Amino acid sequence: MAQTQPQLEVRNISKMFGSVIALSNVSAAFYAGEVTCLLGDNGAGKSTLIKILSGVYQPTEGDYIFEGRKVLLNSPREALAMGIATVYQDLSLIPLMSVWRNFFLGSEPEKRWGPFKSYDIALARRVVRDELKKMGIVVRDTDQPVGTMSGGERQSIAISRAIYFGAKVLILDEPTAALGVKQAGMVLHYIVQAKRRGLAVIFITHNPNHAWPVGDHFIILRRGRVLGDYRKDEITQADLMNLMAGGEDLLKLQEELAMLQEQPLEMATEV
Amino acid sequence: MTLQADTTTPGADERLVQVGVVRGIFRRVEIGALIGAVAVWLLFAAVAPGNWLSVTGVARILDPASTLGIMAIAVALLMIGGEFDLSTGVMTGSAGLVAGLLSTRMGWNLWPAMGAALIFALAVGYLNGMMVTRTGLPSFIVTLATFFALRGANVGVTRLVTEQVYVGGIDKTEGFELARLVFNTGIDVFGIEFRSSIIWWVVIAVIASWVLLRTKYGSWIFATGGDANAARNVGVPATRVKITLFMTTAAAAWLVGMMNIVRLRSAVASQGIGQEFIYIIAATIGGCLLTGGYGSVIGASIGAIIFGMAQVGIVFAGWDTDWFYSFLGVMLLAAVLVNKYTRQRAQEISLAAAKARTEG
């Protein structure tokens, strides 16, 4: 661990929706130049935690600390302005629009044209090509509509856009969930690229096989609580998988399945 | 490693050029409209070559195409932004009536009367936009309501004030001559009269196309129509974009309304009814998707030319003009099919290129 101060930290965060406790006393620290994997099954509280980190929700209790200072975020735009970028599953990309228009959407470069301002398209095309190249993505044609690209390519455009617009923290919400093996591998590659460029990457997933190769630090959530918080040298891949599935539960499931296989077929169907 | 890279690069570049040219042609949004325009032109050139190929013929075609083109451009922008406006046609009538009544009955100079009509049109456009964005109702329904409300008011108010269904004598108002000169006059070219509305149309097409393709507002329009929520997530003011587009169509309707009243020297209560569909047809022939996020201003203008050619060509060919709308219907279907085909081709070529890239 190179630096002592986390880029982003939450301390004793709780979030209540009416009487439902979505998060309870969660603490986590995210460091620059590291990939922190946030793991958990469905309903573990991952989405609630990301939404707090990205400014969509405000915590009911607890502190939100960015670069050592306590902050109160009221909207995702405020988070973005501080350098906390979130890439959601739906990506915020417009399928019918070209790569460069998508990349700069909402932050278009302009040049003066008499009393008017026009879109600096040449600059946009060049920057997109260069930025994608830095991530190791070769786009032959930046005029290509984003909708014609693969899921992995779209994720990588969204990631490089966040990096280009000065993100210090990159939150990735299940970026590999809907992808095939090859495509998921491509996205993992870009996650490492983002880390090497000094970003604090928060990688949300429920797949330990995707988390293990890229993660420096693993936080496992379960039923709104932190079940475990390990650095990579403190845990093995097998332990991680066990924790993910809930350890004892998995053991029980294995026994049940083994029994089921030994039973005659008629009995099995009755069960 | 480096050797391998060197051998694959030239092959890849050749493929890029090949794909680029074919895709470049197919990817033009306007390609369907252009093919249609050429087909219709050839058809009438074969049937009625004498009139068709004359300068008079061109002037006759561009006359209806110009006012329709102005409306089709505004409607195309709105459709790209993901909305419809069915009140555009009747709005040309409403704007004319407001200006006509204020100038002939209240004794206003025609210019402030036209100014008041513009404010009225912008207010209705703003109201359309607010109702659509606030309620989340389909704009088809909201503007259908506006259409009927205006249609009724046009006749009701006109009859109440004039006891007739038209406002005459606009040519006797103060400021009329200048208004005629600005909005709709005949310009002599080689002894043939061209309407000045053609100049308005061309200027508006150039400006609208520039805004759409060369400014950030154009990107915002495409994004708002493509996926309004995704656009909002990256900071595009999608609601403001939509309201502005509704006000733009209303302003275009006002302009065409002014062109009509200075040309006819009167305002008719039934003016423009049914025209809203012609505008949508022209924009659709020009490549606009009904679902938004895709389309072209130039395409919409070509759509207007096709309309003008059909209207004039049927007369030149000596056919029964009753069949005009049937012709328009067939034209619409053909153009939409061509647009669908070319868009699919463009996507297939893009996909093939992407595949070649990941595998090669």
What is the 3-class SS of B7-23, one letter each residue? Answer: HHHHHHHHHHHHHHHHH
Mean pLDDT for B305-323 is: 88
Q: How far is CA A28 from CA A87, A243, B72, B74, B274, in A?
A: 20, 17, 56, 53, 63
In angstroms, what separates the C-alpha of B220 from chain A's closest C-alpha?
7
The β-bridge partners of A69 are A66
User: What is the spatial distance between Cα A31 and Cα A9, in angstroms, rounded to a whole number?
Assistant: 9
What are the structural domain ranges in chain B?
Answer: 36-342
Average pLDDT, chain B: 87
Q: Which tokens hold the place of B186?
A: 């005949």
Radius of gyration over every alpha carbon of chain B, rounded to an integer in angstroms: 23
Residues of A in contact with B214 (CB under 8 A): 118-119, 121
Closest partner CB to A148 (pick from B215, B236, B354): B354
Fill in the DSSP letter of residue A85. E
What pLDDT score was predicted for residue B55?
83
Length of chain A (residues): 271
Contact state of A97 with B223 under an 8 Å Cβ cutoff: yes
Q: Which tokens hold the place of A199?
A: 């970003």
Nearest CA in chain A to B210: A118
Q: Specify burial of residue A170 (Cβ count, 10 A radius: 0-12, 13-18, 19+).
A: buried
Provide the pLDDT confidence category of residue A271 given band limits of 50, 70 and 90.
very low
Mean pLDDT for B25-44 is: 81
Q: Which tokens hold the place of B49?
A: 């070559």
Residues of A in contact with B19 (CB under 8 A): 140-141
Nearest CA in chain A to B294: A96
What pLDDT score was predicted for residue B193?
83
Nearest CA in chain A to B233: A92
Residues of B in contact with A140 (CB under 8 A): 12, 16, 19, 353, 357
Position A27: which residue type? S
Contact state of B219 with A144 under an 8 Å Cβ cutoff: no
ipTM for this prediction: 0.82
Mean pLDDT for A243-253 is: 67
Contact state of A104 with B219 under an 8 Å Cβ cutoff: yes
What pLDDT score was predicted for residue B347?
65
In the numeric block, the tokens 């309501």 are attached to: B145
User: What is the spatial distance between Cα A189 and Cα A153, in angstroms, rounded to a whole number?
Assistant: 12
Interfacial residues of B (vs A; Cβ cutoff 8 Å)? 12, 16, 19-20, 23, 27, 210, 214-216, 218-220, 222-223, 226-227, 230-231, 233-236, 293-294, 347, 350-351, 353-354, 357-358
In angstroms, what separates the C-alpha of A118 from chain B's closest C-alpha?
5
Residues of A in contact with B236 (CB under 8 A): 105-106
In angstroms, what separates the C-alpha of A182 from chain B's closest C-alpha?
10
Mean pLDDT for A220-243 is: 85
Residues of A in contact with B357 (CB under 8 A): 138, 140
Contact state of B293 with A94 under an 8 Å Cβ cutoff: yes
- Cβ contact A54:A171 at 8 Å: yes
pLDDT of B105 over the 80 cut: yes
- Cβ contact B33:B299 at 8 Å: yes
What pLDDT score was predicted for residue A4?
75
User: What is the spatial distance between Cα A151 and Cα A178, in angstroms, rounded to a whole number?
Assistant: 8
Max Cα separation, chain B? 89
Residue pLDDT, tens place only, B237-286: 999 999 999 999 999 999 999 999 999 999 999 999 999 999 999 999 99
Interfacial residues of A (vs B; Cβ cutoff 8 Å)? 76-77, 88, 90-97, 101, 104-108, 110, 116-119, 121, 138, 140-141, 143-145, 147-150, 153
Nearest CA in chain B to A112: B215
Helix (H) or strand (E) holding A201, with range, is: strand A200-205
What pLDDT score was predicted for residue A90?
65
The whole-model pTM stands at 0.82
Residues 6+ away with beta carbon under 8 Å from B239: B133
Residue pLDDT, tens place only, B121-134: 999 999 999 999 99
DSSP for B290-337 reads: TTSS---HHHHHHHHHHHHHHHHHHHHTT--GGGHHHHHHHHHHHHHH
Angle between helices B324-359 and B297-316 (to 10 degrees): 150
Q: Specify burial of residue B139 (Cβ count, 10 A radius: 0-12, 13-18, 19+).
A: buried
pLDDT of B50 over the 90 cut: no
- Cβ contact A24:A44 at 8 Å: no
User: What is the spatial distance between Cα A137 and Cα A186, in angstroms, rounded to a whole number?
Assistant: 10
Residue pLDDT, tens place only, B191-202: 788 888 999 999
Helix (H) or strand (E) holding A41, with range, is: none
Residues 6+ away with beta carbon under 8 Å from B330: none
CA angle B23, B205, B193 (to 5 degrees): 125
What pLDDT score was predicted for residue B8?
37
- Work out how many CB contacts closer than 8 A connect A with B: 86
In angstroms, what separates the C-alpha of A159 from chain B's closest C-alpha?
13
Residues 6+ away with beta carbon under 8 Å from B182: none
Q: What is the CATH number of domain B36-342?
A: 1.10.3470
pLDDT of B12 over the 60 cut: no
Please identify, in words, the CATH class of the domain defined by A8-235: alpha beta
Q: Specify burial of residue A223 (Cβ count, 10 A radius: 0-12, 13-18, 19+).
A: middle
Mean pLDDT for A105-134 is: 90
What pLDDT score was predicted for residue B190?
77
What are the structural domain ranges in chain A?
Answer: 8-235
Residues of B in contact with A77 (CB under 8 A): 235
Q: Which tokens hold the place of A211?
A: 């988390």
